[in-house]
Amino acid sequence: MDANDLLAGIEAIGRNPGGGYTRLAWDDATMQLREWFAGSAAALGLEVTEDGNGNQLAWWGHGPDALLVGSHLDSVPEGGPLDGPLGVSSALAAVARLKAEGWQPSRPIAVVNFTDEEGGRFGVACLGSRLATGAITPDAALALRDDAGDSLAEVMSAQGRDPRAVGRADWLDNVSSYVELHVEQGRWLEPHGSAVGVASAIWPHGRYRFDFCGQGNHAGATAMADRHDPMLAYAATVLAARELATIGDRSHSRSPQARATFGRVRVNPGSTNSIPSTVTAWLDARAASEAELEALVGAIIGRAEAAALADGTTVATRAESTTGAVEFDHALRHRLAALLDAPVLPTGAGHDAGILAATLPTAMLFVRNPTGVSHAPEESATPDDIDTGVDALVRVVKELG
Ligand code: GLV
Ligand code: MN
Ligand code: MN
């Protein structure tokens, strides 16, 4: 069982005509991927379990002190083929290689497929790992709604899962470290001439909902001076976000080490010849420290409020999902970097490993992405680099297992 073959086996699942992948939690594509995961793991002689949150685990051995390896199988809308599936496929391929060699682990090994890492359906990133670790309450999670208005509780029930089983997972008590292999997001390994790197840290980041509210009206009959158009404050906020993340905000003495993105917007009623009544938009913001992130988001909200006021409109904001700064376990990351002779690099992306890092020693391996593009169809790694990533994971499992 080879990682490139495993990935080829799922390349048609959830692929859109434009080549992007839409695999959202509990949709048809991720349900097929669950079956693929269970079947592939069973073919390796692993025992497959699913916790109350939908996280799938494939066990090689039982008992305490397990080493967890894996990633997730969901994607962002129109995402790439590797963000998530590369880590799961590489973990299965590594176990296959170790079994073929006759290697015997001294502790249990588990391969994981975390549910809803991207938060592409219910808005909260890393929902499966947050629930398993108790970082979000079952009530808060079950009440989340997707764009169709269905709650997580309803969606899970429709897929035959019991919403009452959602919450902190017992299996976590038997796990003492986690290693997640992931496609690189950004382009750092290519110019540094390395196929594999080890993660040092994840920037703090969050998702914030902005509800701009105005007066819907006729696009032809309403004079420009008489409008309360919420689109204008939204547009001003998008520009302010770029400016504040790029040049910083001197009043907060903040360095320009930040990112701010409005990637999702909903306009109501969404009619060409109507002034909108509401515009709802989601900001993804990230910065090098929690203080900088707070200052950045505060400054963007301040600019949104000022713009709304100027047009006689309003804006209400709330955080939907936040993740603090993550420093991966120092001893583990130095051990793996030395073992693999690999460079250590930070990541601007979020991961389940970042959630688990609050609970147990956690590390990440990155596999070179020649385009640097991620969350888009151009996300890639060469077949040779994918094999090199599996080699690295095999060495890590042997070292730790
Ligand atoms: C996940 O990839 C994220 O960084 O949002
Ligand atoms: Mn992602
Ligand atoms: Mn990912």
- Pull the structure tokens for residue 229: 């158009």
Whole-number Å distance, alpha carbon 143 to ligand 2 midpoint, is 23
pTM for the model: 0.95
Give 219's pLDDT tier (boundaries 50, 70, 90): very high
User: How far out from the chain centre does Cα 298 lie?
Assistant: 23
- Pull the structure tokens for residue 45: 């002689």
Whole-number Å distance, alpha carbon 311 to ligand 2 midpoint, is 36
* Mean of per-residue pLDDT scores for the chain: 96
Pocket test for ligand 1, best of 75, 122, 129, 351 (most atoms within 8 A of CB): 351
| Closest approach atom of ligand 1 to CA 185 | 2
pLDDT above 80: residue 399: yes
Neighbours of ion ligand 2 (CB under 5 A): 83
Instruction: Please state, in angstroms and rounded to a whole number, the distance separating the CA atoms of residues 393 and 364.
Output: 10
pLDDT above 70: residue 7: yes
For residue 1, what pLDDT is reported? 86
- Mean predicted confidence (pLDDT) in 228-255: 84
Give 251's pLDDT tier (boundaries 50, 70, 90): low
Query: Tens digits of per-residue pLDDT, 262-287?
Result: 999 999 999 999 999 999 999 999 99
Instruction: Please state, in angstroms and rounded to a whole number, the distance separating the CA atoms of residues 62 and 49.
Output: 12
| Closest approach atom of ligand 1 to CA 350 | 4
Whole-number Å distance, alpha carbon 118 to ligand 2 midpoint, is 6
pLDDT above 90: residue 383: yes
Instruction: Please state, in angstroms and rounded to a whole number, the distance separating the CA atoms of residues 230 and 277.
Output: 7
Q: What lines the ligand 1 site, CB under 6 Å?
A: 118, 125, 349-350
Q: Are 139 and 98 in contact (CB under 8 A)?
A: no
Task: Kindly report the protein residue whose alpha carbon is nearest to atom 3 of ligand 1.
Answer: 350
For residue 289, what pLDDT is reported? 92
Whole-number Å distance, alpha carbon 375 to ligand 3 midpoint, is 9
Query: Tens digits of per-residue pLDDT, 137-187?
Result: 999 999 999 999 999 999 999 999 999 999 999 999 999 999 999 999 999
Whole-number Å distance, alpha carbon 180 to ligand 3 midpoint, is 9
Terminus-to-terminus CA distance in the chain, angstroms? Answer: 20
